[in-house]
Amino acid sequence: MTHNAAYLADKTVLVTGCCGTVGAELVQQLLERYAVGELIGLDNNESELFFSEQRHKAYSNAHFFLADVRDRDKLARKFKGVQIVFHAAAFKHVILCERSPFEAVQTNILGVRNIIDAACEAGVQRVIFTSSDKAVNPTNVMGTSKLMGERLMTAANSTLRGKGPVFASTRFGNVLGSRGSVIPIFREQIRQGGPVTLTDPQMTRFIMSIKEATRLVIDSVELVRGGEVFVTKMPVIRIQDLAEVMIRELAPRFGHQAKDIRIENIGTKPGEKLYEELMSDEETRRTVELPRYFAVLPAFRCMYRDICYEYPETITTTVDNPYNSANEQTLNQEDLHAFLTDNQLLAETAEASHPAERFWPGDEQGGSTCAS
- CA 372, CA 367: separation in Å to the nearest integer? 13
CA angle 315, 281, 236 (to 5 degrees): 70
Measure the CA angle with vertex 129, ends 123 and 130; round to 5°.
155
What sections of the chain are H helices per DSSP? 3-8, 21-32, 46-55, 72-78, 94-99, 101-104, 110-122, 141-159, 182-191, 210-223, 239-250, 281-284, 333-342
| Greatest Cα-to-Cα distance within the chain, rounded to the nearest angstrom | 67
d(CA 3, CA 37): 16
Distance CA 153, CA 158 (A): 9
Rounded CA separation 194/322 (Å):
37
Which residues are annotated as catalytic?
134
Cis peptide before 195 (omega within 30 of 0): yes
- Check: CB of residue 42 under 8 Å from CB of residue 113: no
Q: Are 345 and 177 in contact (CB under 8 A)?
A: yes
